[in-house]
A and B are shown apart, each in its own frame.
Chain A
Amino acid sequence: NAGVMQNPRHLVRRRGQEARLRCSPMKGHSHVYWYRQLPEEGLKFMVYLQKENIIDESGMPKERFSAEFPKEGPSILRIQQVVRGDSAAYFCASSPIQNSNTGELFFGEGSRLTVL
């Protein structure tokens, strides 16, 4: 049973380009979360999605960032017109349907974005 799959693992973009990060949740999981981590820091919540729905996007920057989780295919975190401050590790996590209050989040290995 494969875990949470993220790709690419490493992505280099120049300022102004677009970055697309993909996440395939664990089999049977319908909840996806995106977190951002800067070096030597904890994870900052960005967005929580279920299939075809954004449930909580309170951590998403108002501009340039968007996320989707279509009925078919992986969840995608899109960053338009990247700036150097977007350089970070972006982690995706998934949980099963009807995850309890104490449920575990299963994390992928992250996508490391470097903006030149």
Chain B
Amino acid sequence: GESVGLHLPTLSVQEGDNSIINCAYSNSASDYFIWYKQESGKGPQFIIDIRSNMDKRQGQRVTVLLNKTVKHLSLQIAATQPGDSAVYFCAEMGGGSYIPTFGRGTSLIVHP
């Protein structure tokens, strides 16, 4: 809710800039990854997903990159807008489990 972003890593950008949000995952057996956006006081919203047989996937204004060697996932948002301000978090799934593990998230603040 209103305090979801409390004490989270924060990324501040200017409107129009590109944003890169990073996520390090822990389980080398994870093979499915999801990015969510959570606005203040609302439930998480699905943005984009990627499976481990890919290293890049593009959506509308968003790109997810997966580096399995270093267990790193990133979300790139092009031409960031004030409406993109939210908490973004990644989820990983795999190793025989169908229950995702969620990261803490990064708070993105977009200045007009």
Are A and B physically bound partners? no
Write the residues of chain A forming the contact surface with B, with a CB cutoff of 8 angstroms. none
Write the residues of chain B forming the contact surface with A, with a CB cutoff of 8 angstroms. none
